[in-house]
Structures are given as structure tokens and as C-alpha cells.
Amino acid sequence: MNWNEPLTIESLAQQYNLNTYSLIRQFKRLFGTTPKKYLLDLRVHRAKELIAGGMGIAEAALTCGFYDQSHLYNYFKKIFGVSPKVYQEAFGR
């Protein structure tokens, strides 16, 4: 399984022989966040790196497993306080 591929809690729970609620509780206890938020954080931080490296926003969104550019936009702005476009203009190459 790869971080930029679709992932479900059910498939993770099955892989580790846990029910979904146990998986979420144990994951949160160990990492301080839910599996879904953890994965979204990984994806948005990777998208930020790609955008800073010169990749287009739409391409970075798809590369990092977001459904589309607007999905990345909403989460990016929530995490970093600026839109991907503003970030690209300030830090992109």
C-alpha cells in the first residue's frame, strides 16, 4: 500500500486483524491523530514540496492522491493558512 493511493480504514483494520474502532483508537493513542488526518497531512505536505519544486497545483494534487485541485486547496489553506497559488507564487521556482 502506498500513501498516495486510496486507503480505507476497513482495509487497514482487516490487514491488522482489528475492527475499525479498535484500529482508530489505537492509532490515535500512538500518533495523536486519526489515520485519515495523518494520511491527509502526509499528502498535503508532499504536495507543498512538489509545488515548491515547480510542479503545477493540479498535477501535485493528483500526484498526492487528492481527488482534484479544490480538495487540495481546501486542506492546504487549512493547514498552512495560504492557498496553494499564493504559496506557489511566494516560494515556487
pLDDT one-digit tens code per residue, 5-26: 667 888 888 888 989 999 999 9
Record the cell numbers describing residue 56, joined without a space: 503545477
pLDDT tens, position by position, 34-88: 988 998 999 999 999 999 999 999 999 999 989 889 999 999 999 999 999 999 9
Does a structural domain hold residue 42? yes
Does a structural domain hold residue 2? no
Does a structural domain hold residue 74? yes
Q: How many domains does the chain have?
A: 1
Domain that holds residue 34: 9-91
pLDDT at residue 3 in the model = 59
User: Looking at residue 70, which CATH number applies to its domain?
Assistant: 1.10.10.60
Does a structural domain hold residue 3? no
Q: Residue 9 burial by CB count (10 A; 0-12/13-18/19+): exposed, middle or buried? A: middle
pLDDT at residue 14 in the model = 87
**DSSP output for 26-82:** HHHHHHSS-HHHHHHHHHHHHHHHHHHTT--HHHHHHHTT-SSHHHHHHHHHHHHSS
